[in-house]
Amino acid sequence: MCGVVGIWGSPKASLDVFQGLLLLQHRGQDAAGIIADDSDSGRFRLRKAMGQVSEAISAQALSELPGTSALGHTRYSTIGDVKTDDIQPLALTANVSLAGVHNGNLSNANQLRNSLRSQGRFLMTDNDLELLLHLVADGLQQNDSFEGLCQVVTRTMEQAEGGYACVMLWGARGMFAFKDPHGLRPLCLGKKDGAYALASESSALSFLGYTDQRELEAGELVWIDETGKLHSKKLKDVNKKSCFFEWVYFAGAESRMDHMGVYEARLRLGIALAKKIQAAKGIPEIDVVAPVPDTSRPAAAAIAEELRLPYREVLLKNRYVQRSFIMNGQEKRKQAVGLKFSVVEEQVRGKNVLLVDDSIVRGTTSRRLVELLKSHGAKSVVFASTCPPITHPCHYGIDFPTGKELIAHGRSIEAVKSELECDGLIYADLSDLSSGIGSDNLCLACLSGDYPYAIEAQA
């Protein structure tokens, strides 16, 4: 899961991309990069580095990215440690000039990689985007019209399986973007004064002053050509399967996706979970409702209102530590949890605390928070999750690629409760999730094991 921004037709394209990436920093904190199409020199200019956006792209680097079109990316790795070669954007300049950014993962990446190598291709990265660039570039050598671009991207969709939202600069020909046929990953289109923007979340468009036109459809291609004309076509018509984890965890609360506000969805998830808590047997009588900051705040507030209980911020967050879920490596996550939270002891001592989180993935954070609250005098801790048990790996861009690292994999709720050492554990169920988000067109593969795309045997 990463953040992407594309700008076409703005005299300050790179600055717009930079500011958009700052709004999407929560989507990835490992590395960042910007590539600009400098039409005066007829070349792409690229700056990228490890670190958060403001660390990776200095003011000096930004000044070296002229042009009216640019792409940006903020990365979180789903394949272990980040390598400099894998930082996006990436570019190809043989026969056809292409630069790209993408959010997602290809579930048949190994197959595609082997196929390209068998054709004598030398690949420079382990990034799935490089595979997509090669697939698209092959066709564009013979096609330079929108109809030709449609054929090329259709063929790419037929070859590349998995969840992806891509934005590409096509030399002097403009900017185009497409989503996989199930539309797992989000991508929004905006417009301002003849310029166009594409971004992973609507909040980035709003901040930059672009009117949020719409979310790209599953299997759709859009192209802003060199004259500024927008072309669009839905290339594949299959069942839409948006990733539910966007609403639950990844997206900023101020964003909108598929006509649903993320904040509103999280409130509704909290209301549904409150009913489960009210009906739960064998848990202590709750004295106070507390969120695990920041994502679960709307749900915790809704639960407190529904149960007519006090809402308290008992965990204070260190803003200078990464979101521990998206850190690569279990040891890094353990260290981060200890640095990340401190407890307001007078609000928990002697009390039965209901701790609300958006999800429980590996259990590292959850277990440590229960321990922290009890060490500061909490009488008991009941844990509640707005997401059902995550029991299967994700192969489409979220960093839990194996089942064995998931605390709920192969365990009952009672067994998970025992692992967390909490005094009660309450999960939302699948119907709560669909009704809260307001859609039945969701990818629930990590909850059900029902994958929309085939998974390579070695994955």
- Distance, in Å, from the CA atom of 379 to the CA atom of 352, rounded to the nearest integer, reads 5
- Token pair of 355 as six digits: 């701790």
Q: What is the C-alpha to C-alpha distance for residues 14 and 44, in angstroms, rounded to an integer?
A: 12
The reported pTM is: 0.92
| Residues of the chain where predicted confidence (pLDDT) is lower than 50 | 323-326, 330, 458-459
Place of tokens 């094991």: 449
Domain-wise residue ranges, the chain = 3-240, 263-448
Q: What is the pLDDT of residue 458?
A: 41
The counts of H helices and E strands in the chain are: 15, 23
> Which H or E element spans position 210?
none
Question: CB–CB of 119/164 below 8 Å?
Answer: no
- pLDDT for the residue 175: 97
Closest CA to 277 of 152, 142, 424: 424
Q: β-strands 174-179, 162-169: how paired?
A: antiparallel
**What is the CATH architecture of 263-448?**
3-Layer(aba) Sandwich (3.40)
Instruction: Report the pLDDT value the prediction gives residue 459, as an integer from 0 to 100.
Output: 37
Tokens 């002697």 found at = 350
Phi-psi bin for 102: left (phi > 0), alpha (psi -120 to 50), beta? beta
Q: Identify the helix (H) or strand (E) that includes residue 276.
A: helix 262-279
2: annotated active-site residue: yes
pLDDT digits (tens, 9 = 90+) for 376-426: 999 999 999 999 999 999 999 887 778 889 999 999 999 999 999 999 999
Q: Which two tokens stand for residue 257?
A: 């996706």
Set 2, 422, 443, 446: catalytic member: 2
Host H or E run for residue 410: none
Q: Which fold has domain 3-240?
A: Glutamine Phosphoribosylpyrophosphate, subunit 1, domain 1 (3.60.20)
- Tokens representing 48? 């990228």
